[in-house]
Amino acid sequence: MILFDIDGTILDMRSMILYVLQAYDRSRGNGFFRNLGISDITVHENTVDRLLAQLPLRPEEQEEVLSWYLKHRWTSAAIIESHRAFRGVLEVIRWFQIQPGTYVGLNTGRPEALRADTLHSLNKLGKDYRVSFTDELLHMNPAGWNEEVENAKVGGVLHFQKEGYRIFAMVDNEPDNLRAVSKIDPQQEILLLHADTIFESKRTKMPRRTVRGKVYDLTELIPEKALPERIQFVWHGVNDKANLRQFLASDIHWAEFDIRTDPVSNDLILRHDSLENTPQHEDEDRLTLDYLLSRLHKTGKGVKLDLKGDRTLVDRVLDMVDAYGLDESCLWFNAKVERLQERGFRRLASAHPSAVLQCPVSFLAPLILSAPRKAKEILTMFTDWGINRFSISWLTPDMRHFFDQMDQWGFEVNIYDVPDLESFLQAVLLMPRSITSDFNFPKWYYYGRGSGENGNHYEYSLQLSRGVMTVRRPGRV
């Protein structure tokens, strides 16, 4: 079990401070805090008097605001409406929650009286991340407010140990709490992690073995070898030789190729953009579907064909796929519903019933939110056509809500349009059936070029310094 403190560790208490001060303004019709921003707050939630002293307020005004703040900061309304998690922390918690035999416990100095509000607000914040907290795994302070907090933290560790958990780490923003726990852990089994945010106690009191950090960074936490096996990964936009070479040399099973007809030669070619809208570049190396399948059909790699054309493309593509005898378990088709229409999808489904047949459905996002039953009817109609995978863009507004609804309905979902490694890992944590990505992850030694949309590819710059080659982050050319 890994233990997390809540205030100042999971929750950024500056949001609560700002919310309560602005609520004061509203209740009094004042504008004291109209121009106060979150980054102006550098004090702990227990020392708001110091913040007030820096503002142009008379002493009696400071006093009135402070007593109002102290009275209202832990009301249910403030807890539900104002609490915000630090960037990345809910993803980190989710990562631990999906590991086998691993639990996330909460070890807080908040008093028992706040138990229901605490669980309610944290579960509300966690919902989009598929994070949930339970009553049994929340340990609170049996003493009153801000009393014997260090004892409560030690009590939390002992409580969970008595329940049979082995505590392997504890994250807290207060050095005093970490020090108290270190004293009951002479074998140093517990990794002490200091959330270096805003804290009250002195940093010098921290045990020397404490590890400090200011950010929750998924790309540091999750290595490639720990990616869940049940998610299918697809290398997006393999339309040129450089990308194809990298894909073939990788352990990634699937690649997506954009297929369209060359209006001049009538060949089936690999290209994201139409030749009409984005004319051929002079040094563009253009690959044909025929060449691609001749390279791939014996490799056992998965072939995802994105049909960029209308129904007339279907039969030509099917003929070529059949000519190379590709196994259905290695076949995946994607197309827009308005291009292939019902007949095109039914044709693909009857030719290869066990292949993945996918269409993008990001256009349903507004309907999912406003009229979910209608959206479900439409999706069910698509499944009648033979479509068995729905693709949604990571960049869709309310994407997490959209995904959650699709998942609850039991549809298989592919996520695409993940811009970088961090977003890719965030998508992994949702555990969709598949993720399609450019593999533009220099941190993992993947230098995917992208599909060439609008004639652009990712560009990487190499730097040689004392014999060490480093690759800078990709940018679009």
Binding region for Mg ion (CB under 5 A) out of 29-37, 52-60, 132-140, 170-178: 170-178
For residues 149, 155, 156, 162, the Cα torsion angle rounded to the nearest 10 degrees is 180
**Smallest distance, Mg ion to C-beta of residue 201, A:** 10
Q: Does 8 bind Mg ion (CB under 5 A)?
A: yes
**Smallest distance, Mg ion to C-beta of residue 27, A:** 28
Binding region for Mg ion (CB under 5 A) out of 8-16, 183-191, 269-277, 328-336: 8-16
Binding region for Mg ion (CB under 5 A) out of 1-9, 132-140, 204-212, 382-390: 1-9
Binding region for Mg ion (CB under 5 A) out of 120-128, 130-138, 171-179, 289-297: 171-179
**Smallest distance, Mg ion to C-beta of residue 193, A:** 12
Q: Does 243 bind Mg ion (CB under 5 A)?
A: no
Classify 246 as helix, strand or coil: helix
Residue of 2, 3, 7, 160 that binds Mg ion (CB under 5 A): 7
- The number of residues that bind Mg ion (CB under 5 A) is 4
Q: Which residue is nearest to Mg ion (CB)?
A: 8
- Judged by CB, which is closer to Mg ion: 152, or 421? 152
57 phi, psi to nearest 5 deg: -120, 145
Distance, in Å, from the CA atom of 98 to the CA atom of 70, rounded to the nearest integer, reads 38
- Judged by CB, which is closer to Mg ion: 8, or 386? 8
- Judged by CB, which is closer to Mg ion: 6, or 365? 6
Distance, in Å, from the CA atom of 163 to the CA atom of 172, rounded to the nearest integer, reads 21
**Smallest distance, Mg ion to C-beta of residue 347, A:** 60
**Smallest distance, Mg ion to C-beta of residue 177, A:** 7
**Smallest distance, Mg ion to C-beta of residue 203, A:** 14
One-character DSSP codes across 364-402: GHHHHHH-HHHHHHHHHHHHHTT--EEEEETTSTTHHHH
Q: Does 173 bind Mg ion (CB under 5 A)?
A: yes
**Smallest distance, Mg ion to C-beta of residue 9, A:** 5
Classify 407 as helix, strand or coil: helix
**Smallest distance, Mg ion to C-beta of residue 24, A:** 24
One-character DSSP codes across 292-345: HHHHHTTTT-EEEEEE-S-THHHHHHHHHHHHTT--GGGEEEE--HHHHHHHHH
Distances (CA, A) of 448 to 45, 435, 457: 45, 15, 9
The percent of the chain in helix, strand and coil, each rounded to the nearest 5, is 45, 20, 40
Q: Does 45 bind Mg ion (CB under 5 A)?
A: no
Closest CA to 164 of 136, 188, 191: 136
- Judged by CB, which is closer to Mg ion: 82, or 173? 173
- Judged by CB, which is closer to Mg ion: 5, or 256? 5
- Judged by CB, which is closer to Mg ion: 8, or 474? 8
Distance, in Å, from the CA atom of 171 to the CA atom of 221, rounded to the nearest integer, reads 15
**Smallest distance, Mg ion to C-beta of residue 172, A:** 6
Mode of pairing for the β-strands spanning 169-172 and 356-360: unpaired
- Judged by CB, which is closer to Mg ion: 173, or 436? 173
- Judged by CB, which is closer to Mg ion: 170, or 307? 170
Distances (CA, A) of 271 to 79, 86, 249, 319: 52, 41, 21, 19
Binding region for Mg ion (CB under 5 A) out of 60-68, 166-174, 277-285, 385-393: 166-174
- Judged by CB, which is closer to Mg ion: 198, or 427? 198
- Judged by CB, which is closer to Mg ion: 133, or 458? 133
Rounded to 5°, the CA angle 177-183-186 comes to 135
- Judged by CB, which is closer to Mg ion: 110, or 449? 110
- Judged by CB, which is closer to Mg ion: 108, or 239? 108
Binding region for Mg ion (CB under 5 A) out of 117-125, 165-173, 384-392, 429-437: 165-173
Q: Does 182 bind Mg ion (CB under 5 A)?
A: no
**Smallest distance, Mg ion to C-beta of residue 83, A:** 13
190 phi, psi to nearest 5 deg: -95, 120
Residue of 1, 3, 5, 86 that binds Mg ion (CB under 5 A): 5
**Smallest distance, Mg ion to C-beta of residue 345, A:** 54
Distance, in Å, from the CA atom of 448 to the CA atom of 11, rounded to the nearest integer, reads 36
Residues 1, 105: contact at Cβ < 8 Å?
A: yes
Closest CA to 93 of 4, 30, 167: 4
Distance, in Å, from the CA atom of 274 to the CA atom of 457, rounded to the nearest integer, reads 16
Binding region for Mg ion (CB under 5 A) out of 2-10, 59-67, 328-336, 386-394: 2-10
Residues 114, 73: contact at Cβ < 8 Å?
A: no
Distance, in Å, from the CA atom of 149 to the CA atom of 162, rounded to the nearest integer, reads 20
CA-based diameter of the chain, in Å?
86
Which residues, at least 6 apart from 306, have a Cβ–Cβ distance to it below 8 Å?
Answer: 256, 257, 258, 259, 334, 335
**Smallest distance, Mg ion to C-beta of residue 20, A:** 17
Provide the binding-site residues for Mg ion, judged by CB under 5 A. 5, 7-8, 173
